[in-house]
């Protein structure tokens, strides 16, 4: 069981406050949508929650089995799919997955071949990522995030570049793989977070 506690979290860049005094408690099984207009701070909050940038004030703590997790170890417990994250373009899909799963374990029952099949990319397994379409790259990012055996998954704009079929695929995928995890989705599109049980609007923390 993973728990995340956020207390009076505030973030500013230079003199611009992005969010102030944000409190939040999450535990395994929770799915939360972080909403707000363009530039409201969704990606910034995601980066703070995942430990990639610091808060300006306040605290974020992670606990597993009621034991605190050191900030430097948070990344073992999470994956992120986000538009600003680059995939290694020179790898083929198979090489990318083999590389990623040297560091993270796939969920039980998932092999590299099964993952490629679930991504509907069987005929592209040996093609360099550089030659993938933007929608194919997005499916790879979502797959890498959701198929890793971690208790916390961050999804920033998960359906960007996906067509209608891709959006349906995403919705079915999350439904199947959200169980017993914390899912945090940054989004302006309700199709991306219909399954979320909680919603946090960043406009409320200015
Ligand atoms: N490294 C940085 N230095 C200074 N300002 C930054 C930095 N990163 C983000 N910002 C600013 O923080 C604000 C929030 O940006 P952020 O990307 O978090 O918004 P967002 O809600 O994710 O937007 P969008 O919906 O357009 O993706 C913006 O004004 C942005 O310019």
pLDDT in tens, 158-202: 999 999 999 999 999 999 999 999 999 999 999 999 999 999 999
**Ligand 1 center–CA 39 separation, angstroms:** 5
**Ligand 1 center–CA 15 separation, angstroms:** 13
Here the CATH number for the domain that contains residue 36 is 3.40.50.300
Model pLDDT, residue 200: 97
What is the ipTM metric for this complex?
0.98
**For ligand 1, atom 30, which residue shows the shortest CA distance?**
39
Hey, which of 9, 37, 39 would you mutate to test ligand 1's pocket, going by the most ligand atoms within 8 Å of its Cβ?
39
**For ligand 1, atom 18, which residue shows the shortest CA distance?**
41
Q: Is 5 helix (H, G, I), strand (E, B) or coil?
A: strand
Give me the mean pLDDT over the 86-108 stretch.
96
Distance of CA 116 to CAs 68, 81, 95, 171, Å?
35, 17, 11, 18
Model pLDDT, residue 26: 97
Number of folded domains in the chain? 1
pLDDT tens sequence across 72-87: 999 999 999 999 999 9
Phi/psi at 24 (nearest 5 deg)? -160, 140
> What atom in ligand 1 is closest to the CA of residue 45?
18
Segments forming the whole domain that contains residue 109:
2-204
C-alpha–C-alpha distance, residues 5 and 30, integer Å: 13
Strand order across the 78-81 sheet: 78-81, 152-156, 182-186, 31-35, 198-201
Q: Which DSSP helix (H) or strand (E) runs through 99? A: helix 93-103
Q: Fill in the DSSP letter of residue 180.
A: T
């Amino acid at each position: 069981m993973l728990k995340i506690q956020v207390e009076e979290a505030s973030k500013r860049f230079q003199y611009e406050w992005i969010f102030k005094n944000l409190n939040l408690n999450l535990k395994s099984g929770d799915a939360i949508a972080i909403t707000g207009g363009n530039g409201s701070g969704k990606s910034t909050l995601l980066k703070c929650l995942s430990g990639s940038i610091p808060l300006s004030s306040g605290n974020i703590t992670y606990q597993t089995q009621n034991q605190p997790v050191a900030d430097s170890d948070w990344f073992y417990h999470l994956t992120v799919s986000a538009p600003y994250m680059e995939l290694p373009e020179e790898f083929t899909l198979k090489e990318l997955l083999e590389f990623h799963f040297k560091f993270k374990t796939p969920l039980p029952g998932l092999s590299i071949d099964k993952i490629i099949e679930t991504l509907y990319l069987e005929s592209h397994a040996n093609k360099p990522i550089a030659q993938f379409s933007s929608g194919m790259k997005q499916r790879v990012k979502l797959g890498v995030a959701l198929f890793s055996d971690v208790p916390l998954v961050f999804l920033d704009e998960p359906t960007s570049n996906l067509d209608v079929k891709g959006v349906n695929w995403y919705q079915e995928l999350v439904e199947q793989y959200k169980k017993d995890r914390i899912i945090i989705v940054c989004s302006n599109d309700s199709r991306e977070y219909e399954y979320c049980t909680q919603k946090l609007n960043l406009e409320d923390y200015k």
